[in-house]
């Protein structure tokens, strides 16, 4: 493969790669660095690419390894990350002025519940062990097959299946205990609270019923609800959506809090 | 110990100075899935209904703290005495040890066995205070089989 052909393939993969790395690192700066480093690293060893996998799988393998190195020494986030960060935001006098400024200056600072659900999914997935988070994102959001994930994380099919199953069970349980959208006893109302702040004229119940998994809150198969969350995530580009500037600001805020937690 | 049949039924052999319980079951899953379940300490309560918690790391020469539903008030402080990946795991204390063994017996088919022997010179003094393990062992084996086979079917 020539460098030109590779660059073309890389550019095709770049949007997915960027969003994948962002969801793993929760850092815009790290994402930019890792994506750029992945391009350089892959370009330098193009001769080692034998075509046993797709170029996209190979790029994701290189990027995942760089991201894992970047995250190795960092703590995983607790399941209660959104509660902790909410408290910090409320006690930070600069937080809401920053948001207000963003809303006046950026065309991509609208608050949409779906985007906040994606933000929430990113945060909760960071409470999983890293290998599990990587596997579930690759499978449910970026449509990689189990056999491709085996290559990307350099593991076995059995372990990838173990990671996928375990991460799904854990996330389902976390949401079951926390999310007020699917469980009346849920402790987290953050999306409705923020919607009330940013969109005071909207009726939250009406907006909520536009979200498929909220409508299906009584589905006894709780994993179906998780699939619907991933479906929303799959449809949103965190760098280029109606509220990307706002949600990236939230994510950066949470990352800073978690670094000192 | 009398040879166990792989039917998931526990068997206990009582002697004056020891008691030994074992269970064996065939599981339609790769050894590595079962090994992952047996060695991820903090994941046990999710799939194993006999365990309340395991704190620590299940790895060679590590120490763990285990709480079981059979005797929920006690916390067992155990050492990992043997750790042969995808083959043998042994943990225990001065009173006894539990041995987990995995053997591939076919394509994607693994035999799991679990055996625990407790005893010693003063065993007769407290033997009656130790509840029977049979039901808990059978439940452990059932839970492990169910979880491993579910994981194995992941597509």
* pLDDT tens string A210-219: 899 999 999 9
Our CA-based measurement puts residue B130 at a distance from the nearest CA of chain A, in whole angstroms, of 33
Identify the pLDDT of residue B110: 97
Q: Which residue has the higher pLDDT, A204 or B38?
A: B38
Using CB atoms within 10 A of its CB, is residue A86 exposed (0-12), middle (13-18) or buried (19+)?
middle
Buried/exposed code over A19-44 (b: 16+ C-beta within 10 A; e: otherwise): bbbbbbbbbbebbeebbebbbeebee
| Counted domains in chain B | 1
Facing residue for A158 by CB, picked from B33, B46, B150: B33
Mean residue pLDDT of chain B comes to 94
To 10 degrees, the CA torsion angle through A20, B47, B52, A129? -10
Band of pLDDT at residue A34, cut at 50, 70 and 90: very high
Q: Which domain holds residue B48?
A: 11-152
Fold of A1-74: Rna Polymerase Sigma Factor; Chain: A (1.10.1740)
Q: Are A49 and A55 in contact (CB under 8 A)?
A: yes
Facing residue for B46 by CB, picked from A156, A161, A169: A169
Whether B144 shows a pLDDT value over 90: the answer reads yes
Q: A165 vs B150: CB contact, 8 Å cut-off?
A: yes
Whether B1 shows a pLDDT value over 80: the answer reads no
* ipTM associated with this complex: 0.83
pLDDT mean over A40-66 = 95
| Residue B126 located in a structural domain | yes
Q: B152 vs A161: CB contact, 8 Å cut-off?
A: yes
Mean residue pLDDT of chain A comes to 94
Of residues B27, B12, B11, the one with CA closest to residue B101: B27
| Residue B6 located in a structural domain | no
Q: Phi first, then psi: give them for residue B20, nearest 5 degrees.
A: -130, 130
Whether A248 shows a pLDDT value over 90: the answer reads yes
Band of pLDDT at residue B127, cut at 50, 70 and 90: confident
Q: B36 vs A159: CB contact, 8 Å cut-off?
A: yes
Of residues B109, B112, B117, the one with CA closest to residue B141: B112
CATH code at position B143: 3.30.530.20
Whether B5 shows a pLDDT value over 90: the answer reads no
What is the pTM (predicted TM-score) of this model?
A: 0.90
Identify the pLDDT of residue B47: 95
Our CA-based measurement puts residue A143 at a distance from the nearest CA of chain B, in whole angstroms, of 12
Residues of B with CB under 8 A from a CB of A: 29-33, 36-37, 40, 43, 46-47, 150-152, 154-155
Facing residue for A161 by CB, picked from B33, B46, B47: B33
Domain boundaries, chain A: 1-74, 76-259
| Residue B25 located in a structural domain | yes
Q: Are A58 and A42 in contact (CB under 8 A)?
A: yes
Q: Does A169 touch chain B (CB under 8 A)?
A: yes
Name the token pair of B18: 């020891």
CA distance linking residue A18 with residue A32, whole number of Å: 8
Identify the pLDDT of residue A261: 85
Chain centre distance of CA B125: 25
Angle B31-39/A157-178 helices, nearest 10 degrees?
40
Whether A60 shows a pLDDT value over 90: the answer reads yes
| Residue B4 located in a structural domain | no
């Amino acid at each position: 493969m020539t460098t030109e052909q590779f660059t073309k393939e890389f550019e095709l993969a770049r949007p997915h790669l960027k969003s994948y790395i962002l969801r793993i690192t929760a850092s815009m700066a790290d994402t930019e660095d890792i994506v750029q480093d992945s391009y350089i690293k892959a370009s330098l060893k193009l001769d080692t690419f034998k075509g046993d996998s797709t170029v996209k799988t190979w790029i994701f393998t290189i990027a995942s390894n760089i991201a894992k190195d970047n995250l190795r020494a960092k703590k995983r986030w607790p399941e209660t990350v959104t509660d902790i960060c909410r408290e910090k935001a409320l006690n930070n006098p600069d937080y809401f002025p920053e948001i207000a400024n963003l809303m006046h200056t950026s065309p991509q600072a609208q608050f949409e519940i779906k985007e906040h659900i994606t933000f929430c999914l990113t945060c909760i997935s960071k409470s999983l062990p890293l290998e599990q988070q990587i596997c579930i994102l690759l499978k449910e959001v970026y449509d990689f097959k189990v056999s491709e994930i085996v290559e990307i994380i350099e593991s076995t099919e059995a372990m990838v299946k173990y990671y996928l199953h375990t991460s799904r069970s854990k996330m389902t349980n976390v949401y079951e205990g926390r999310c007020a959208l699917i469980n009346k006893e849920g402790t987290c109302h953050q999306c409705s609270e923020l919607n009330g702040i940013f969109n005071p004229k909207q009726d939250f119940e009406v907006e909520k019923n536009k979200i498929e998994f909220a409508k299906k809150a009584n589905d006894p198969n709780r994993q179906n609800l998780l699939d619907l969350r991933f479906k929303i995530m799959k449809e949103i580009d965190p760098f280029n959506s109606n509220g990307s500037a706002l949600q990236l600001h939230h994510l950066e805020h949470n990352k800073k809090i978690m670094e000192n937690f | 110990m009398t040879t166990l049949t792989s039917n998931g039924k526990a068997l206990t052999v009582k002697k004056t100075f020891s008691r030994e319980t074992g269970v064996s079951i065939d599981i339609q899953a790769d050894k590595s899935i079962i090994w992952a379940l047996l060695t991820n300490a903090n994941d046990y309560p999710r799939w194993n209904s006999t365990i309340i918690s395991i704190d620590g790391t299940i790895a060679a020469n590590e120490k763990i703290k285990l709480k079981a539903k059979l005797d929920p008030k006690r916390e067992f402080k155990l050492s990992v005495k043997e750790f042969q990946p995808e083959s043998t795991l042994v943990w225990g204390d001065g009173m006894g040890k539990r041995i987990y063994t995995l053997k591939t017996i076919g394509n994607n088919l693994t035999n799991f066995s679990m055996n625990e022997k407790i005893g010693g010179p003063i065993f007769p003094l407290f033997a009656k205070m130790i509840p029977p393990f049979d039901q808990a062992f059978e439940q452990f084996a059932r839970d492990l089989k169910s979880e491993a086979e579910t994981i194995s079917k992941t597509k």
